[in-house]
Amino acid sequence: MKSIVFALLFLGFFGSLSAQRMISKTGHVWFVSETGLETIEAHNYQVGTVMDASNGNLAFQALMRSFQFKKALMQEHFNEKYVESDKFPKATFKGQIQDFADLDLSKEGTYDVEVAGDLTIHGVTKAVSTPGKLTVSEAGVQAKAKFTIVLEEYEVDVPALYRSNIAENIDIQVDVTYTK
Amino acid sequence: MFHRIQSITYMKSYLFSLLLLIGMQGIFAQDDLLDLLDAEEEPRTDYTIATFKTVRIINGHSIEMPAPGVMQMIISHRFGRLNGGLYELYGLDQANIRIGLEQGITPWLTIGAGRSNIKKTYDGFVKWKLLRQSTGARKMPVTLAGQSTAAVNTLRTASLGLTIPEENFKRAYRYSYVHQLLIARKFSERLSVQIMPTLVHRNLVPTAAESNVVLAGGIGGRIKLTRSLTLNAEYYYVLPDQLSDEFRNYLGVGIDIETGGHVFQLVFSNTRSMTDNLFLTETDGDWLAGDIHFGFNVMRVFTTANKWTQKYQGKF
């Protein structure tokens, strides 16, 4: 009797959890640095992310080591010299979809949203906000966003010698799908 | 009475379960979704990267290897001795050179070849990696690699100081071999240390007093001064009674300056040689007497087979 009640409570609790919080571990986040001399691009296809469908809260977590570059040496320098992945292994974002109450995610369609929150890279946290798109379909909710960060704000120091190769402003793009 | 006690116990445990659940709900329902992601995270292994800036510590191999599909070009110069004074412009009047190419094939296999003017030596090697230092799910304290080199001098017999005619000097006499284990540990961001048990085999030695098989032990390391600059040193101790008295143990110190695609190594050592078999067995300079050779290695990488790089993406 006791265990049944316990199990029911347990199920009820986790049931509500899974209904509200949608998790993906295969989010795609990529960035591009563009200068006249060089375009540098790196992709991370293993970004962990969760969206709370009850209140529009969002979180992202990316391992810096999982960003893949075309050139192996570039990847090594990115991790060793610039973002210092051993010291700061993860980049994270924690925020909210603005005016979430006005959205009805039970209806299929594409919604323009504004996302605001705290982005942490290289151990430095900054408030960011960006427009994004939510696409609700049978498969789930796809979230896309594109925004720009200033490297200097995250204390990623680019030596004078490489300023013509590494852009001051880095474009970051996000494409994740939360399955129902 | 007994019945009542039992129901109290029940009630207690209900209460406890309820409290536990409320507590858990508190943990899970707390606003920090990042904690939830942390909890979802699977254990991972972090392989140590950048133990050294490049594939050589100074003259000898480091455990680093070019990535698959990447070719490393090495242009090395070693000048004469600093104690040659102004007359020799501190050694700059004499320049020795080796040009080498190394191709990364897989994350654990490299082949390479080079040509040095010293004894007109060609060398070829195979370098492999067996273990990678790592932390996390799979822990490994060291990186273990190895390399085997074959070197052949192509000097004419007259230049070797021999009076026998060219055709009587067997080709096999010209070959030497070096086999090394490279065991390295990156102790911290700043300090990496490598030890190198080494065996040299020379098919022909100048005198009967010298051994064909020479055993040596090497130690090398680097201290990272800034993110683009390291201080390196490498020393090989040759076990006694294997070489003639004129030869000494090799010691080199230098700095690595890394500039993206290039690494410039500026080195000081007591040898002119840049091929393993020669700096191990024919180093004749005495550091204390000022027999110090300045030199540099220019290391440059080229992508030669992007397909190979992509194939192993995420695995190095």
As to burial, measured by CB atoms within 10 angstroms (0-12 exposed, 13-18 middle, 19+ buried), residue B93 is exposed
Q: Which residue in chain B has the smallest CA separation from A2?
A: B14
**Pair A10, B21: CB distance under 8 Å:** yes
The band of A16, judged by pLDDT with boundaries at 50, 70 and 90, is very low
Residues of B in contact with A57 (CB under 8 A): 31, 33
CA distance B124 to B116: 12
pTM of the model: 0.85
CA distance A57 to B26: 17
Q: B99 vs B125, B191, B246, B298, CA distance in Å?
A: 14, 29, 28, 10
The predicted model gives B170-178 an average pLDDT of 94
**Pair A79, A63: CB distance under 8 Å:** no
Specify the residue for token string 């085997």.
B148
In the DSSP assignment, the letter for residue B114 is E
The band of B168, judged by pLDDT with boundaries at 50, 70 and 90, is confident
Residue type, position B40, single letter: E
CA distance A78 to A151: 13
Whether B16 shows a pLDDT value over 70: the answer reads no
Q: Which of A13-22, A118-127, B115-124, B238-247 has the lowest mean pLDDT?
A: A13-22
**Pair B200, B176: CB distance under 8 Å:** yes
As a whole number, the mean pLDDT across chain B is 90
The predicted model gives A122-145 an average pLDDT of 95
CA distance A15 to A8: 10
Whether B28 shows a pLDDT value over 60: the answer reads no
Look at residues B19, B118, B16, B134 and name the one whose alpha carbon lies nearest to residue B76. B118
Q: Which residue in chain B has the smallest CA separation from A11?
A: B21
Residue A59 contacts B, CB cutoff 8 Å = yes
Specify the residue for token string 């254990």.
B43
pLDDT for B17: 61
Residue A13 contacts B, CB cutoff 8 Å = yes
Whether A19 shows a pLDDT value over 70: the answer reads no
CA distance B149 to B102: 13
Residue A17 contacts B, CB cutoff 8 Å = yes
Look at residues A48, A34, A15 and name the one whose alpha carbon lies nearest to residue A178. A48
Residue A54 contacts B, CB cutoff 8 Å = no
What is the widest separation between alpha-carbon atoms in chain B? 117
Whether B30 shows a pLDDT value over 50: the answer reads no
CA distance B298 to B316: 24
Of A57, A92, A161, the CB nearest to B31: A57
Q: Which residue in chain B has the smallest CA separation from A64?
A: B46
**Pair B176, B201: CB distance under 8 Å:** yes
- Contacts of B185 by beta carbon, 8 Å cutoff, 6+ apart: B51, B133, B141, B142, B143, B192, B193, B194
In the DSSP assignment, the letter for residue B61 is B
Report CB contact under 8 Å: B40, A9: no
H-helix or E-strand spanning residue B113: strand B109-116
Q: Report ipTM for this prediction.
A: 0.82
Pick the residue with more confidence: B226 or A19?
Answer: B226
Report CB contact under 8 Å: B33, A9: no
Residue B141 C-alpha, separation from nearest chain A C-alpha, in angstroms: 16
Model confidence over A38-84: pLDDT tens digits? Answer: 999 999 999 999 999 999 999 999 999 999 999 989 999 999 999 99
Residues of A in contact with B309 (CB under 8 A): 70-72
Look at residues B251, B156, B238, B158 and name the one whose alpha carbon lies nearest to residue B202. B238
H-helix or E-strand spanning residue A119: strand A109-121
Q: How many helices and strands (H and E) does chain A possess?
A: 2, 9
Residue A48 C-alpha, separation from nearest chain B C-alpha, in angstroms: 7
Count of CB atoms situated within 10 Å of the CB of B70: 23
Model confidence over B188-227: pLDDT tens digits? Answer: 999 999 999 999 999 999 888 899 999 999 999 999 999 9
Look at residues A50, A57, A60 and name the one whose alpha carbon lies nearest to residue A173. A60
Residue A40: both structure tokens together:
């540098």
Residues of B in contact with A159 (CB under 8 A): 228
pLDDT for B306: 83
Residue A33 contacts B, CB cutoff 8 Å = no
Model confidence over B287-308: pLDDT tens digits? Answer: 999 999 999 999 999 999 888 8
**Pair B72, B300: CB distance under 8 Å:** yes
CB pairs under 8 A between A and B: 85
Whether B271 shows a pLDDT value over 70: the answer reads yes
The predicted model gives A90-102 an average pLDDT of 94
Whether B117 shows a pLDDT value over 70: the answer reads yes
User: What residues of chain B have any CB closer than 8 angstroms to a CB in chain A?
Assistant: 10, 13-14, 17-18, 21, 24-25, 28, 31-34, 36-38, 40-41, 44, 46, 49-50, 67-68, 70, 189, 227-228, 259-261, 301, 303, 306, 309, 313-314, 316
Q: How many CA atoms lie within 13 A of A18 on its CB side?
A: 7
Residue A163 contacts B, CB cutoff 8 Å = no
Report CB contact under 8 Å: B49, A25: no
Assign residue A154 a region (left: φ > 0; alpha: ψ between -120 and 50; beta: otherwise): alpha
The band of B31, judged by pLDDT with boundaries at 50, 70 and 90, is low
Pick the residue with more confidence: B98 or B261?
Answer: B98
Residue B2: both structure tokens together:
């007994």
Residue B256 C-alpha, separation from nearest chain A C-alpha, in angstroms: 14
Residue A166: both structure tokens together:
């590494």
Count of CB atoms situated within 10 Å of the CB of B90: 17
In the DSSP assignment, the letter for residue A78 is I
Residue type, position B198, single letter: T
Residues of A in contact with B53 (CB under 8 A): none
Of A10, A59, A76, the CB nearest to B37: A59
Of A21, A72, A86, the CB nearest to B70: A72
pLDDT for B167: 85
Report CB contact under 8 Å: B260, A65: no
pLDDT for B26: 47
Whether A7 shows a pLDDT value over 60: the answer reads no
Model confidence over B94-103: pLDDT tens digits? Answer: 999 999 999 9
Residue A141 C-alpha, separation from nearest chain B C-alpha, in angstroms: 18
Look at residues A65, A82, A79, A90 and name the one whose alpha carbon lies nearest to residue A152. A82
